[in-house]
Amino acid sequence: MMSERRPLILGNWKMNTLPEEGRLVARQMVPMIRDGLHLRVDWGLALPFTHLSALRAELEGWGMMGGQDCSAHLQGAYTGEISAAMLAAMHCTFSLVGHSERRTHHQETSATCGLKIDRLRDQGLMAVYCVGETLEDRQRGNFSKIITSQLMDALGSRIQSLDSNGLVIAYEPVWAIGTGLTASPEQANEVHAMIRYWVVQHGGAMLAEQIRILYGGSVNASNAKDLLGCSDVDGALVGGASLKARDFTDIVLSSVG
Ligand code: PGA
Q: Is residue 1 part of a domain?
A: no
Please give the distance, rounded to the nearest whole angstrom, from the Cα atom of residue 170 to the centre of ligand 1.
Answer: 11
Please give the distance, rounded to the nearest whole angstrom, from the Cα atom of residue 240 to the centre of ligand 1.
Answer: 6
Nearest CA to ligand 1 atom 7: 239
- Residue 244 · residue 16 · CB < 8 Å: no
- Chain-centroid distance of CA 133 in Å reads 16
Amino acid code (one letter) for 178: G
3-state class of 214 per DSSP? strand
Structural domain total, the chain: 1
What's the pLDDT tens digit per position in 148-173? 999 999 999 999 999 999 999 999 99
What's the pLDDT tens digit per position in 164-214? 999 999 999 999 998 888 899 999 999 999 999 999 999 999 999 999 999
Across all residues in the chain, what is the average pLDDT? 95
The atom number, within ligand 1, closest to the CA of 130 reads: 9
Nearest CA to ligand 1 atom 9: 239
What pLDDT shows up at residue 36?
Answer: 67
Q: How confident is the model at residue 257 (pLDDT cuts 50, 70, 90)?
A: confident
Distance between CA 44 and CA 28 in Å, rounded? 14
What pLDDT shows up at residue 34?
Answer: 83
Q: Is residue 229 part of a domain?
A: yes
Q: How confident is the model at residue 3 (pLDDT cuts 50, 70, 90)?
A: low
Which residues are designated catalytic?
A: 99, 172
What's the pLDDT tens digit per position in 7-51? 999 999 999 999 999 999 999 999 998 876 777 999 999 999 999
Q: Is residue 3 part of a domain?
A: no
Report residues whose beta carbon is within 6 angstroms of any ligand 1 atom: 12, 172, 177-178, 216-219, 237-240
The atom number, within ligand 1, closest to the CA of 238 reads: 3
Please give the distance, rounded to the nearest whole angstrom, from the Cα atom of residue 253 to the centre of ligand 1.
Answer: 18
Q: Which domain holds residue 204?
A: 8-254
What pLDDT shows up at residue 59?
Answer: 96
Q: How confident is the model at residue 2 (pLDDT cuts 50, 70, 90)?
A: very low
The CATH number of residue 47's host domain is 3.20.20.70
